[in-house]
Amino acid sequence: MNRKILKYLFLLWLPSSVLAQKTVNDKELQQALATNRFYADSTAQETFRFAKLSSYYLSTLMPERYSTISLSYNYDKGTYIPSQGATKINAGKLSTEGTVKLGDIKLFGGFSYTKTFEDSTRFSHQTRNNTSSPYYFGSPAYVHYERSVYRFQAMANKNFLQEKLSLSIGTDYKVGDHFSTNDPRGSIGEYQFNLNASLGYKLSAFVKLGIGYRHGYGQEKITIGYKNPRYYESSSFPMYYNHLINGYGETKPMLNDRKYNDDQKRNGLDLYLDVNAGNLGSFHLFGNYIEENQRYFFANGSGFTDYSKYNLKTSDINLLWNKKLTYGIVGAQAQYKSVDGADYNIGFNANNYKYLSRNLGAKLFLTTLSAKSIFNHFIKADYLEEERIDGIRANDVYFNHILLMLGSSKRWIKENNRYLGIGFSAHYQFSINDDFKVAPANEAYFTRYVIYHDYLFNTSSAAGGEITAEYGFPLFKMMMSSLKLNAIYTQKLDQKSLSRTIVTAPGKDRFSSNISLNLYF
């Protein structure tokens, strides 16, 4: 099944991404420069990111033609991280994406391969895509994780009825392999497939309405193995034995049955509204609702054993506004996202765990363009609240925090299409409210290593900055290339005190860096 999907996606991806690169002609360099400019324009990038939310926007918000390949290396270090994060990350990524128009059909294709090495991560044999899950394995001892993830994206669009009616389809397929190299040795295989189809209709030259449908499914397959049999033969090594987390509270030893599957199915509905308000600019409103059902079970020759069920309801509303100015573009983006998760605990035949999160964000950005330079400025505010409730253990932990960011960048355009860019930004995060209800009587490993740590991390305040430098130049007179460096530093400012047994707490800072070689066609 996986191979069939892989083949299908590859064929879909091929014409847009690869053929786009094959069909370069004498105007290659001009096309490469346009693509490069597209990536330099943060307003265009915001629009592009917004457009990738759905194939619905392929015809209107994505460039007619562009292609890029990027090879990047990421290095993160520092202990100002959530409890289940990694103290050090080394990651390499190869990615390519592009659009092309073949006749009346516009295509988008994207591919990425990411290899990640995570040092010192604990209590989370997970893929990192399903972090609200109530049911997973973990241990307090640090493990080293390696992850390989391949992702294929494809979109296609065709317009009908004098371009009044647009039909779009998009697929997103991901396959990954995650494993830890020391005891306890988690091994997680995953695949995810998502499909979206949308129909848009222009009511007038100014207003377009759309509706879309989403369907997806996937699986995570988890197995925990050991080199040292002592760690699973008894529960005398709690740092190493396999803990089962089922909810948001204390674990139980799962020494023997150390495998399960998490099958996921999701369906959703999209609504779209686009308004071209003339002098006021253009507005794009996109809302969707997705309901996902996860089933945690184990299957063998004698049948199925169900362990847990989890239902996730996600509502997402995105608004994009941009307006062309004489000297550039101004825009804004706002987002509201809510996630409501609830489990069905098989042992108690009732709901025990709830996960609730709300995210509200707004960003204002301005790009000014001239022959010699490009300026980008932005200001951003993000509000996040999250609550995890475990009924049988009477745990209820709530926090919210606000992240404020502002930044600017400038690109100096030199002779022969060379350029130099530098950018700065600053961020500040603080919490305004929290609620902490955790019964001390239930305090053991998970409470000490995860709940306390995360509460301290999520309610702390922090500030930091980011610096970006980029040098770009033409390559072989047919493409643009750039070398980009990026570094982010975040320092913890303040942390709450908690009168509990604290065995681990967030560290003082976190450093992230990235270097990439980018080719634009």
Partner 1 sequence: MKKYLYLFLALFAFASCKKNNSTEIEPVDLNIKINYNLTTSAYTLPLNIAKLKITNIETRTSQEFTANDKGIILIPKLAPGFYDIDASSNFSATEYSTITGTVTEKAVTFNASLKNKQITVGFSETINLNLIAGSIGDWVIKQIYFAGSDRVNGAIFRDQFIEFYNNSDKTLYADSLYFAETTGLITKSTSGSYNLLASGQLDWSKSQNMPADIDANNDYVYARAFLMIPGTGKQYPVEPGKSIVVAQTAVNHKSPFTGVDGKAITVLNPSLTVDLSKADFEAYYAPFLSKPLASDIDNASVPNLEVLSYFGTDMIFDNPGRYAYVLVKVDGTQKPKDWPQYNYPTKAAPSSSAGKYYQIPAKWIVDAVEVQPNEATDRIPKKFGATLDAGFTFVPLGSYTSQSVIRKTEKTVNGRVILKDTNNSTEDFDYFNVANPRGFK
Binding site for partner 1 (CB under 8 A): 230, 233-236, 249-253, 255, 336, 342, 345, 348, 350-354, 356, 358, 360, 362, 383, 385, 387, 389-394, 398, 400, 432-433, 435, 439, 441-444
Smallest gap from Cβ 272 to partner 1, in A, equals 21
CB neighbours (10 Å) of residue 258? 20
Smallest gap from Cβ 255 to partner 1, in A, equals 7
Smallest gap from Cβ 139 to partner 1, in A, equals 15
Give, in degrees to the nearest 5, the angle at Cα 256 between 303 and 149.
80
Smallest gap from Cβ 207 to partner 1, in A, equals 22
Q: Which amino acid is at 112?
A: S
Smallest gap from Cβ 383 to partner 1, in A, equals 6
Is residue 474 helix, strand or coil? strand
Smallest gap from Cβ 429 to partner 1, in A, equals 15
Residue nearer to partner 1 on the CB measure, 111 or 344: 344
Is residue 4 helix, strand or coil? helix
Residue nearer to partner 1 on the CB measure, 362 or 498: 362
Is residue 187 helix, strand or coil? strand
**Could you give the CA distance from residue 187 to residue 126 in angstroms, rounded to a whole number?**
9
Cis before 184? omega within 30:
yes
CB neighbours (10 Å) of residue 76? 21
**Could you give the CA distance from residue 347 to residue 336 in angstroms, rounded to a whole number?**
35
Residue with tokens 């080394």: 90
Residue nearer to partner 1 on the CB measure, 135 or 191: 135
Residue nearer to partner 1 on the CB measure, 35 or 400: 400
Cα separations in angstroms, 405 against 17, 318, 364: 34, 19, 11
Residue nearer to partner 1 on the CB measure, 66 or 241: 241
Residue nearer to partner 1 on the CB measure, 237 or 471: 237
**Of 62, 23, 6, which is closest to residue 521 (Cα–Cα)?**
23
Secondary-structure percent of the chain, ordered helix, strand, coil, rounded to 5: 15, 60, 25
Residue nearer to partner 1 on the CB measure, 392 or 467: 392
Smallest gap from Cβ 291 to partner 1, in A, equals 18
**Could you give the CA distance from residue 183 to residue 100 in angstroms, rounded to a whole number?**
48
Smallest gap from Cβ 442 to partner 1, in A, equals 6
Residue nearer to partner 1 on the CB measure, 15 or 361: 361
DSSP state of 451: I
